[in-house]
Amino acid sequence: MKSNLFLTVALCLLLFSCNKKSENPNCLAVINPPKLKFNIISQESQKDLFFAESAAYQISDLKIYKYSDTKHEQPLKIEVQVEGESGKKNFSINLDGALTNGSLEFNIGSSIKHKLDYSASIIKTPCPEYKINEIKFNQTVVTTNTGIYMLMN
């Protein structure tokens, strides 16, 4: 009799626990920094300056620094990666995950300098992650529909 009661209670607990949806899924303890995907486009020709056929610049011509590093003593340790298929390439960098607002200096070649400002926030969907709220390139707000920002040179 006691074993039947124990078995019935155990079965009921098992059924109720399987039907209950978890409100807190297993999320990683680390929140990945926001990733910025971008291309740098010529304002005059509307062509990609790095990935177009007969591109004006080599990938190595792009250097990125924290804006506060005015002497350019420490280039960002983040790698600029090339992603995508042939003809659809873009740069991808991880922004500083410790900051929700930041500024970077983009140097193209030896003479072209641009400022990129960003803001991000942490959202829960259902696990916490960063979402880029706004990108400004040379004080102009840049939006994207595809997840890749087109920065005008």
* Residue pLDDT, tens place only, 87-108: 678 888 888 766 788 999 999 9
Q: Which residues fall within 8 angstroms of residue 83, CB to CB, at 6 or more apart?
A: 37, 89, 90, 91, 92
Q: Which of the two residues, 26 and 52, has the higher pLDDT score?
A: 52
Q: Which residues fall within 8 angstroms of residue 88, CB to CB, at 6 or more apart?
A: none
DSSP per position, 64-94: EEETT-TT--S--SSPPEEESSTT--EEEEE
8 DSSP β-pair partners: none
61 token code pair: 């011509």
143 token code pair: 């939006």
pTM, full prediction: 0.74
Q: Give tens-digit pLDDT for 3-28.
A: 555 555 555 555 555 544 555 567 87
82 token code pair: 């090339």
